Amino acid sequence: MGTITTSDGAEIFFKDWGPKDAQPIVFHHGWPLSSDDWDGQMLFFLSKGYRVVAHDRRGHGRSSQVWDGHDMDHYAADASAVARHLDLRNAVHIGHSTGGGEVARYVARHGEPDGRVAKAVLVSAVPPLMVKTPGNPGGLPMEVFDGFRQALAANRAQFFVDVPAGPFYGFNRPGAKPDQGVVYNWWRQGMMGSAKAHYDGIKAFSETDQTEDLKAITVPTLVLHGEDDQIVPIDDSARLSAPLLKNGTLKTYPGFGHGMLTVNADVLNADLLAFVRS
């Protein structure tokens, strides 16, 4: 574990586990969480002999709570700073939700131009664009994201219980059995971060059009999405993203929700490993 300081003064916390000569698997977490959300995947890939790396996005987890730079450009630049600091090459970058947007921008603007990326994976990811606009009529209304901002500003601690206890993992579905440990861990990670970073991050993940990022990516890219994703609906994201990729593959999971990496880790880990080895 360690930290780096970016050119604009943000201190970024990262984990770097495993043999330094092994192929790196780099994980990018979702909003409003931290690199801890990848524990299951990092331990799994570590056990398979890979080098595993993950960082806390600026304002999240153990990274510094800077007041600005909470946008996709800075997210990607920070990821690039970590990759360059560790001199990661032939890396597979895997991003969940907002982290998927971070991966798309990083690979398109930094990773491929630097020759550092072998493959990419977008899991339950926000690209190409979440919010409804004249050019994206199938997106979610701005009122949805305004509601997120209002709930966060009014009572972030309660909001960060309601999201994982309900739609994030699909625990609100009939017959679902909520896992309180999973809910508590989501809350723990969220409350470690900055309210300002989380508030600004809503705009970053909902209003950033990443169509051109996706078009620019040439490395093999796997798009994974749950068909019952209540946070990032599949018809507004994965089914639009995959055709924009030059070398993309789409795999969907009936009944799986947004947090499938945690509650369906056995299935996802096997599919991720198969893609990495392919």
Hey, which residues does 24 pair with through a beta bridge? 51
Residue 39, both tokens:
């524990």
Q: Write down the catalytic residue from 225, 229, 237, 241.
A: 229
Q: How far is the CA of 42 from the CAs of 47, 68, 115, 141, 266, in angstroms?
A: 9, 29, 23, 35, 13
Q: Write down the catalytic residue from 63, 97, 194, 241.
A: 97
From the CB of residue 90, how many other CB atoms can be counted at a distance below 10 Å? 11
Cβ contact 111:44 at 8 Å: no
Q: Write down the catalytic residue from 55, 96, 110, 258.
A: 258
Give the integer Cα–Cα distance in Å for 186 and 69: 23
C-alpha 209, offset from chain centre? 16
Give the integer Cα–Cα distance in Å for 174 and 250: 28
State yes or no: is 258 an active-site residue: yes
State yes or no: is 206 an active-site residue: no
The residues that are catalytic are 97, 229, 258
